[in-house]
């Protein structure tokens, strides 16, 4: 089945220690998104890639970076995690030129910062 996969599902890191979260997709979608979701809140868009074009949200901290080496993979790098970065991180994809802009979500990676 075509899907969005996130690894790992649970990640524990230490304060200030860089961490990378991974997302892959078999849907061949052009657009990939990273969201941050804190407890009992709506997902908040951090950035998205439209093919290789990177689009950062204005209020995304510089501590968050992303890479998309090919269509299938996208990575979220947190350079120096703080306690406030503990959250669920959701990856999503959508087709370009899809008027409905339906997004397909992965299961998420729950990040704990010690």
Residues found near other proteins in the complex (CB under 8 A): 6, 31, 40-43, 45, 48, 50, 55, 88, 90, 92, 94, 99-108, 110
Closer residue to other proteins (CB): 43 or 81 = 43
Smallest separation, CB 16 to other proteins (Å) = 27
* 83's tokens: 């306690």
**Three-state secondary structure call for residue 83:** helix
Q: Is the peptide bond before 88 cis (omega within 30 degrees of 0)?
A: no
Closer residue to other proteins (CB): 3 or 80 = 3
Q: Are 32 and 92 in contact (CB under 8 A)?
A: yes
Closer residue to other proteins (CB): 28 or 80 = 28
Tracing tokens 């090919």 back to the chain, one arrives at 70
């Amino acid at each position: 089945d075509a899907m969005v996969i996130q690894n790992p599902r649970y990640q524990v890191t230490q304060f200030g220690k860089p961490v990378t979260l991974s997302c892959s997709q078999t849907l061949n979608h052009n657009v990939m998104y990273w969201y941050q979701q804190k407890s009992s809140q709506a997902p908040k868009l951090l950035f998205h890639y439209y093919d290789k074009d990177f689009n950062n949200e204005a209020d995304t901290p510089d501590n968050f970076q992303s890479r998309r080496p090919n269509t299938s993979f996208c990575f979220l790098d947190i350079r120096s995690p703080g306690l406030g970065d503990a959250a669920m991180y959701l990856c999503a994809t959508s087709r370009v030129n899809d008027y409905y802009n339906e997004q397909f979500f992965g299961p998420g990676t729950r990040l704990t910062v010690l």
